[in-house]
Amino acid sequence: MKEHLTPVSANYSRIAIVTGASSGIGEATAKKFVAAGYGVIGNARNAAKLELLREELGPAFYSVPGDLADLTLIPKLFEAALAYFGKSADIVIANAGRGLGGSVKDADLSQFEAVLQLNVTSTLALLQQAARYMVSMQQTLFPERAADIVVLGSVVGRHVSPFSAVYGATKFAIHALAEGLRREIGPQGVRVSLVEPGIVLSGFQDAAGYSEELVQNFTENFGPLFYGAEVAETIHYIVNQPPHVHISDIMIRPTRQAYP
């Protein structure tokens, strides 16, 4: 976070923290939120892409680059919201994550520790930080104002996939954490929602080590596939509900995706 920030003067209706904001669902969500009149703190490892996004979106977007595997970065996201926008974040989108192709028998376990750290440990740390901020906030603001934590899960966190079962195991864990947190802090006025996308075309497939042949099979068998923008619309729908209305779980698939 840059030092000695002067809060921007614009009156944004809500302030959101979006992780994994440099591409795919995270980038699309940041753009959707800015278009809706929200201020956005965006995080990703790719500082150059975040800077391009800041140039595109203007003062409504402020970037905090860095790897969420470094847990000391997480409090800085919330500090940046207060320093730059002058008020605390009331939306957190836990989107950062990475894939890992392969079945249980064949997955490359040399990468598993890094996947587990980002997908589960770092996400849990983000959820804990968000919960502390928002429970305190909602003691005085609920039911006049909403507070939202949205966790990006996956269809493979509900249905075991033969081509990404090990990755799916991390999403099963995230689903459990989201539901546990919902039960814990929902009664205190904080909404915790899980979004489970099907196949979304993005840089995710390359990073997960999916072959071109596998991605082509997805397209042929399940297409037309969708992009991050469709998931971003779903996320915005969730957070745009009245404060007393809680959508706890949404699964979104391409129409022709039969399984998983």
CA torsion, ordered 48, 231, 229, 103, to nearest 10 deg = 60
Q: Tell me how far the alpha carbon of residue 219 is from its chain's centroid.
A: 24
211 CB neighbour count, 10 Å cutoff = 11
What does the pLDDT read at residue 177? 98
pLDDT by residue (tens digit) across 101-122?
888 999 888 999 999 999 999 9
What does the pLDDT read at residue 5? 76
The Cα–Cα gap between 167 and 163 comes to 9
Domain contains 106 = yes
The dihedrals phi and psi of 18, each to the nearest 5 degrees, come to: -125, 115
Q: What is the mean pLDDT of residues 145-151?
A: 98
Give the amino acid at 73: L
What does the pLDDT read at residue 95? 97
pLDDT by residue (tens digit) across 191-250?
999 999 998 887 665 555 566 776 687 788 898 999 999 999 999 999 999 999 999 999
Mean of all residue pLDDT scores within the chain: 93
For 64, the token pair is 């905090």
Residue bearing the bigger pLDDT, 215 or 132: 132
What does the pLDDT read at residue 1? 47
Domain contains 2 = no
Output DSSP code: residue 13.
S
Domain contains 85 = yes
What does the pLDDT read at residue 209? 55
Distances (CA, A) of 160 to 15, 44, 155, 198: 35, 28, 8, 13
For 194, the token pair is 């899980």
Bridge partners (DSSP) listed for residue 192: 149
pLDDT by residue (tens digit) across 35-63?
999 999 999 999 999 999 999 999 999 99
pLDDT by residue (tens digit) across 159-197?
998 888 999 999 999 999 999 999 999 999 999 999 999
The Cα–Cα gap between 230 and 150 comes to 15
Domain contains 155 = yes
The Cα–Cα gap between 2 and 19 comes to 18
Residue with tokens 């890992």: 100
Q: How many domains does the chain have?
A: 1
The Cα–Cα gap between 105 and 108 comes to 9
Domain hosting residue 101, numbered range: 15-251
The domain spanning residue 144 has which CATH number?
3.40.50.720
Domain contains 168 = yes
Domain contains 112 = yes
Residue bearing the bigger pLDDT, 129 or 8: 129
Bridge partners (DSSP) listed for residue 18: 42, 93
What does the pLDDT read at residue 211? 67
What does the pLDDT read at residue 105? 93
Domain contains 259 = no
Burial class (CB in 10 A: 0-12, 13-18, 19+), 119: buried
Distances (CA, A) of 107 to 65, 118, 157, 166, 209: 29, 17, 16, 7, 10
Domain contains 144 = yes
pTM to 2 decimals? Answer: 0.94
pLDDT by residue (tens digit) across 59-92?
999 999 999 999 999 999 999 999 999 999 999 9
